[in-house]
Amino acid sequence: MLRRDMNRLALAWALSAWAGVQPALAAGQRQAGPTWQTDPFALGVASGQPHPDSVVLWTRLLMSDADAAQQASAQTVLCELFADEALRQPLRQWRVETDARRGHSVHVLATGLQPGRHYWYRFVCGSAQSVVGRTRTSPAPDARVPLLRIAQASCQHFEQGHYVAHREMAQRELDFVLFLGDYIYESSNPKYRIRPHRGGVPKTLEEYRQRHAQYKGDADLRACHAAHPWVMTWDDHEVVNDYANDQDNRFSDPALFLQRRAAAYQAYFEHMPVRIGPDPLAPHQMRIHDRMAWGQLADLWTLDCRQYRDHQACPDPNRGGARVVVGCDALQDVRRSMLGSAQEAWLMQGLVDSQRDSPGRWRLIAQATQMSSTGIATPLGRSTFNDAWDGYPMARERLLAGIAEMRLSNAVVLGGDVHMNVAANLRVRPNDEQSPVVASEIVTTSVSSRGMGDALLATIRENNPDIRHARSDERGYTLLDVRPQGVTATFRTTAFPVQPDSVMREQARYEVLTGQSGVQRA
């Protein structure tokens, strides 16, 4: 696609997302609207995508049966921004029209803000008022920042555990939460169900809305959104397990599957503090990949590993989806891509620009899954899990060889998806000591989704010396402290996410020192 067309599309998306924003109310003007029987702000508030001068503020009106009469009409929501926690210093207001076509969701792009500071916000609609959220802008582009503190998280199957991780994240001082996918799960496993999903497997927009709303019914998750801005990408379960581009795990007719994907993307947009929604001209497309900076300290890319990828190599012809393959020649096809050619080129150009402009800066490459290899030697050859980067080895080699060629220092890949904490070294040729370590990897365990068994993980570790730490037995999140001299990853975990009052502890701590690729135990 031509850049010109990309720009036009981006503009169309942006306008579609913000078309409802009206001029602000004058100060002191009363907010007209319904008298609510139940709280329409039960899903809470959220903020995200912080820039030096802006941040996205989000809520969605949820209407109970008692308020069903309001469902059909457009609603006006007032968004108020304050400079202080006590809400004594109002800064700006926005009046936003929303309606059933966007699930009564509200996205406000709060602009004209100052860099590197906190703001507080809330929403008002008729008789109802939301809780107060706190957010934060990123530092000015030229700011010398001593510390960036991120909570990295992924994979929060509602049925499989309580959100103890979110409770702790909500209470911490963080710059932002980095959520790397599997925010909702479409599927169920009756063996591990401490609190059931409502409804069956979602396929329609209304069903995806209900699933998202159930997840945001969790008080710890709401608290974590209200406490910090979130920076997000998605993985497969926001739509369906193991999907790849236009193919689902049952080889459904791609045209039908793309309709389902459009419903899932629309519901995702309606529930998340993200700038851009589905493309109105092609609603099965939604741009989620993005780039941001944290002053002079770090550049961060958030990648989309699902929408544009090639189908998994050598799938089971009957079952579809991901599997472990041996002797799969298709893996060596250099045309296959995890990111799609446009996103891949965009990332490489961004890395080149970043290295040229600020050689000492951290390059944080956040994506949904695991980049280091987890293959196992078998009598028939090395086994490969075809859904993670192992299933796209030539694309991985291109990326890591590109990083090596441009002598990019300080590249740290951040991942999720695999329900285990991993600290690993990344080489152009995995596990080959002749191939230098060119980047480092930190994968966070799941918030609540169950991990693989210890025996399999032990075999993976034995077969992959680049993996310096791997534990799949505990749930939690990862605290990343990014400083000019190094990045420290602290794995915060609990073995008991099924107990709502369990507490988190430190499982292990790894660090990457500036100018030295590779992880080491801190």
The CA distance from 155 to 317, in Å, is: 27
Distant-in-sequence, close-in-space partners of 400: CB < 8 Å, separation ≥ 6? 426, 427, 428, 438, 439
Binding segment (CB under 5 A) for Fe ion, from list 109-117, 223-231, 319-327, 445-453: 445-453
- Is residue 238 part of the contact set for Fe ion (CB under 5 A)? no
Token pair listed for 93: 């207001």
- Tokens standing for residue 514: 């500036």
Long-range contacts of 427-434 (CB under 8 A, 24+ apart): 427/400, 427/466, 428/397, 428/400, 428/401, 428/404, 429/397, 430/372, 430/373, 430/375, 430/464, 430/466, 431/373, 431/463, 431/464, 431/465, 431/466
Q: Taking contact as CB under 5 A, which single stretch among the options 137-145, 150-158, 353-361, 484-492 is the one that binds Fe ion?
A: 150-158
Q: What is the DSSP letter of 508?
A: E
Burial 26-43 (b: 16+ CB within 10 A, else e): eeeeebebbebeebbbbb
d(CA 17, CA 467): 42
Crossing angle of helices 164-171 and 219-227, in 10° steps, is: 30
What residues form DSSP beta bridges with 279? 282
Question: What amino acid occupies position 382?
Answer: R
Q: Does 182 bind Fe ion (CB under 5 A)?
A: yes
* CB nearer to Fe ion: pick between 40 and 451: 451
Question: Among residues 155 and 339, whose Cβ is nearest to Fe ion?
Answer: 155
User: What is the closest distance, in whole angstroms, from the C-beta atom of residue 446 to Fe ion in the complex?
Assistant: 6
- Residue 494's region, left for phi above 0, alpha for psi from -120 to 50, else beta, is beta
Query: Which C-beta is closer to Fe ion: that of 182 or that of 270?
Result: 182
How many residues bind Fe ion (CB under 5 A)? The answer is 3
Residues 39-68 within binding reach of Fe ion (CB under 5 A)? none
Q: How far is the CB of 181 from Fe ion (least distance, A)?
A: 7
**3 state SS for 18-54:** HCCEECCCCCCCCCCCCCCCCCCCCCCEEEECCCCCC
Measured from the CB atom, the residue of 135 and 156 that comes closer to Fe ion is 156
Nearest distance from residue 237's CB to Fe ion, in Å? 6
Q: 16 or 156: whose CB is closer to Fe ion? A: 156
Does residue number 186 form part of the binding site for Fe ion (CB under 5 A)? no
| CB of 394 vs Fe ion, minimal distance in Å | 25
Please choose, out of 182-190, 212-220, 248-256, 436-444, the segment that lies near Fe ion by the rule CB under 5 A.
182-190
Maximum alpha-carbon separation in the chain: 76
Q: Which residues contact 331 (CB under 8 A, 6 or more apart)?
A: 313, 314, 325, 384, 386, 391, 392, 393, 394
Instruction: Spell out, one character per residue from 352 to 371, where the chain touches Fe ion: x when CB under 5 A holds, - when not.
Output: --------------------
Site for Fe ion in 457-496 (CB under 5 A): none
Min separation Cβ 378 and Fe ion, Å: 25
Residue with tokens 């040729």, as numbered in its chain: 429
Could you give the residue ranges of the DSSP H alpha helices within 173-328?
A: 205-215, 219-227, 254-271
Residue number with CB closer to Fe ion (155 or 263): 155
**Shortest distance, position 312 Cβ to Fe ion, whole Å:** 16
Considering only the stretches 11-19, 148-156, 281-289, 352-360, report the one whose residues sit in contact with Fe ion under the rule CB under 5 A. Answer: 148-156
Told to check if 420 binds Fe ion by CB under 5 A, we report: no
Name the residue nearer to Fe ion (CB basis): 105 or 445: 445
| Residue 390: CB minimum distance to Fe ion, A | 16
Closest CB 449 distance from Fe ion, rounded Å: 5
> What minimum distance in Å lies between the beta carbon of 182 and Fe ion?
4
Q: How far is the CB of 185 from Fe ion (least distance, A)?
A: 7
Of 444, 459, 462, the C-alpha closest to 324 is 459
Closest separation in Å from C-beta 158 to Fe ion? 12
Comparison of 16 and 478: residue with beta carbon closer to Fe ion: 478
Nearer to Fe ion, 262 or 388 (CB): 388
**Whole-angstrom Cα distance, residue 297 to residue 240?**
36
- Asked if 155 touches Fe ion (CB under 5 A), the answer is yes
User: Given the complex with Fe ion, which of 47 and 249 has the nearer CB atom?
Assistant: 249
Question: In this chain, which stretch among 179-187, 251-259, 298-306, 424-432 interacts with Fe ion, using CB under 5 A?
Answer: 179-187
What residue ranges bind Fe ion (CB under 5 A)? Answer: 155, 182, 449
